[in-house]
């Protein structure tokens, strides 16, 4: 086996979300193989993948049925496409299956290759929709501060994290960023969660009125904000926000790229939080991340207007070479079959209490201000002072240091903006593995505490 991967990586690989200069002095963390919820690095360490990679490898790292589904399809038809009335059996089967498990009002699917592409496509659909309705001014999109919707030009414009936009001339589409629904940080003294949600909805309404409702096309929201820090909306949030959106004829796009497919203990996060989206974007757990695939689901009402648009323009003029790729689609179909056979929703529901207990136990740690969780996704927000919620200076990167300690304890977790550490383990995890994961996280918090003392 070659032994020069480390040097070749530094020499040739341009890494996403990495300081390019620092990478020249830090050895890459090379993952070589995986089994169940574990991955191994090139030094032989066996780590719990507490983040399912990037919130995606729901079935862990050794699901043979997905390997077999890919092989079978690869041998039968490795490539075809969906342009100009052409189709494939896996793309048809997948679309039908997605609609069968989606909230009732979802009716059609457009397949793409990633979460960012799904978000870009959803935005294009919303614009196309308003053009078909002869509302050419109704184009602005409302996203939220700390949202993560991806990195392509439209998706990156919607993302509300400065490091995704800085240096890239983003936002490049008309977008407004409204408040992050973070009760622990933003709730006022004495304000209930529900009051806070009411206040957020009235702030939103004021912003819409100030901007002119006739210029606003859609509101995009992750049911739980993932990369922004696993921020769980306050009670009643989506109901109240959606009442405002309906009043001004503004579509709701739920970005289900992380929450979709049982992460929150329901098939979709929209269901968990009582949102009724007009469009939904999905990716990641759709194929357990074994192959890249994503999609936009939409209601019949939106679809019918788009149909009218395609009459006006001669066609729906958008598509990707690999959109609905037959091998990725076959893997996604098999993933959804496995979710169904193993009743993944109830499996997650059954484990969510145990997960929540782990989070609550560590919320008692001196370094933790708040622990939050839903289904099998959660985070601990790190504070210097539990009473005042004052945090450590951003430059201290305490959450990132905890993630480094966790690595020493053979646990992969993720530091997020707002000094939280996130957990999002493969959905196939069991109680014993969850306990081990939280024990390792506790040891990492203790290491951090010791260093700070």
How far, rounded to the nearest angstrom, does the alpha carbon of residue 94 sit from its chain's CA centroid?
20
Does the protein bind ligand PLP through residue 52 (CB under 6 A)?
no
Nearer to ligand PLP, 66 or 448 (CB): 66
Tell how many helices (H) and how many strands (E) occur in the chain: 16, 15
Strand-pair category, 46-49 with 106-112: unpaired
The least CB distance from residue 285 to ligand PLP, in Å, is: 11
The least CB distance from residue 294 to ligand PLP, in Å, is: 6
The contacts of residue 358 (CB under 8 Å, 6+ apart) are 434, 435, 437, 438, 441
How far lies 279's CA from each of 239, 316, 349, 453, in Å? 16, 17, 25, 49
* CA pair distance 415, 433, nearest whole angstrom: 21
The least CB distance from residue 263 to ligand PLP, in Å, is: 11
Q: Site residues for ligand PLP, window 280-319 (CB under 6 A)? A: 283
Does the protein bind ligand PLP through residue 57 (CB under 6 A)?
no
Nearer to ligand PLP, 297 or 368 (CB): 297
The least CB distance from residue 117 to ligand PLP, in Å, is: 7
Q: Are 238 and 273 in contact, with CB atoms under 8 Å apart?
A: yes
Nearer to ligand PLP, 176 or 293 (CB): 293
Q: Site residues for ligand PLP, window 351-410 (CB under 6 A)? A: none
How far, rounded to the nearest angstrom, does the alpha carbon of residue 61 sit from its chain's CA centroid?
19
- How many amino acids of this chain bind ligand PLP (CB under 6 A)? 15
DSSP-assigned beta bridge partners for residue 294:
112
Does the protein bind ligand PLP through residue 181 (CB under 6 A)?
no
Nearer to ligand PLP, 377 or 383 (CB): 377
Residue 315 DSSP class: S
Residue from 23, 42, 54, 89 in contact with ligand PLP (CB under 6 A)? 54
Positions of E strands within 80-136: 106-112
Residue from 255, 266, 278, 419 in contact with ligand PLP (CB under 6 A)? 255
With contacts defined by CB under 6 A, name the span among 18-26, 142-150, 345-353, 426-434 that binds ligand PLP.
Answer: 142-150
Q: Site residues for ligand PLP, window 99-138 (CB under 6 A)? A: 114-116, 119
The contacts of residue 138 (CB under 8 Å, 6+ apart) are 130, 214, 215, 216, 217, 249
Does the protein bind ligand PLP through residue 258 (CB under 6 A)?
yes
With contacts defined by CB under 6 A, name the span among 221-229, 302-310, 411-419, 445-453 that binds ligand PLP.
Answer: 221-229
Q: Are 180 and 253 in contact, with CB atoms under 8 Å apart?
A: no
The least CB distance from residue 148 to ligand PLP, in Å, is: 5
Does the protein bind ligand PLP through residue 150 (CB under 6 A)?
yes
> Which is nearest to 431 in space by CA: 351, 365, 357, 358?
351
Nearer to ligand PLP, 118 or 448 (CB): 118
With contacts defined by CB under 6 A, name the span among 41-49, 99-107, 143-151, 334-342 that binds ligand PLP.
Answer: 143-151
- 184-217 burial code (b ≥16 CB/10 A, e <16): beebeeeeebebbbbbbbeebbebbeeeebeebb
Q: Are 344 and 262 in contact, with CB atoms under 8 Å apart?
A: yes
Residue with smallest beta-carbon separation from ligand PLP: 115
Q: Can you give the binding site for ligand PLP, defined by CB under 6 A? A: 54, 114-116, 119, 148-150, 222, 226-227, 255, 257-258, 283
């Amino acid at each position: 086996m070659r032994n020069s991967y480390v040097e070749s990586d530094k020499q040739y690989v341009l890494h996403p979300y990495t300081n390019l200069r620092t990478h020249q002095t830090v050895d890459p963390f090379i993952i070589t193989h995986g089994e169940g919820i574990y991955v191994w690095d090139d030094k032989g360490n066996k780590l719990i993948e507490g983040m399912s990679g990037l919130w995606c490898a729901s079935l862990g790292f050794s699901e043979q049925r997905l390997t077999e589904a890919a092989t079978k399809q690869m041998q039968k038809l490795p490539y075809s496409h969906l342009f100009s009335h052409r189709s494939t059996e896996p793309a048809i089967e997948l679309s039908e299956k997605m609609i069968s498990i989606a909230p009732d009002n979802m009716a059609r699917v457009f397949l793409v290759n990633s979460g960012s592409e799904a978000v870009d496509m959803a935005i294009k659909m919303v614009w196309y929709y308003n053009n078909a309705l002869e509302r050419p001014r109704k184009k602005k999109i409302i996203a939220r501060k700390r949202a993560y919707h991806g990195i392509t030009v439209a998706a990156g414009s919607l993302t509300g994290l400065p490091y995704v936009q800085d240096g890239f001339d983003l936002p490049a589409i008309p977008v407004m960023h409204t408040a992050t629904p973070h009760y622990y940080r933003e709730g006022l003294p004495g304000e209930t969660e529900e009051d806070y949600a009411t206040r957020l909805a009235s702030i939103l309404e004021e912003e819409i009125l100030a901007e002119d409702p006739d210029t606003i096309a859609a509101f995009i929201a992750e049911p739980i904000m993932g990369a922004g820090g696993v921020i769980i909306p306050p009670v009643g949030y989506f109901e109240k926000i959606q009442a405002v959106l309906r009043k001004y004829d503004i579509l709701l796009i739920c970005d289900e790229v992380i929450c979709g497919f049982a992460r929150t203990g329901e098939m979709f996060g929209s269901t968990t939080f009582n949102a009724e989206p007009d469009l939904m974007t999905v990716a990641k757990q759709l194929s357990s991340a074994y192959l890249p695939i994503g999609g936009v689901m939409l209601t019949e009402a939106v679809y019918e207007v788009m149909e009218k648009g395609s009459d006006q323009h001669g066609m729906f003029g958008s598509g990707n070479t690999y959109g609905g790729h037959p091998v990725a689609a076959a893997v996604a179909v098999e993933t959804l079959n496995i979710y169904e056979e193993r009743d993944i929703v109830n499996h997650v529901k059954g484990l969510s209490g145990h997960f929540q207990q782990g989070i609550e136990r560590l919320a008692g740690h001196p370094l933790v201000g708040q622990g939050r969780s839903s289904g099998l996704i959660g985070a601990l927000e790190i504070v210097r002072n539990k009473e005042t919620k004052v945090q450590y200076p951003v430059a201290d990167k305490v959450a990132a240091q905890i993630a480094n300690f966790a690595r020493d304890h053979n646990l992969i977790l993720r530091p997020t903006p707002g000094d939280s550490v996130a957990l999002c383990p493969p959905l196939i995890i069991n109680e014993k593995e969850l306990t081990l994961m939280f024990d390792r996280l506790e040891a990492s918090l203790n290491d951090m505490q010791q260093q700070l003392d």
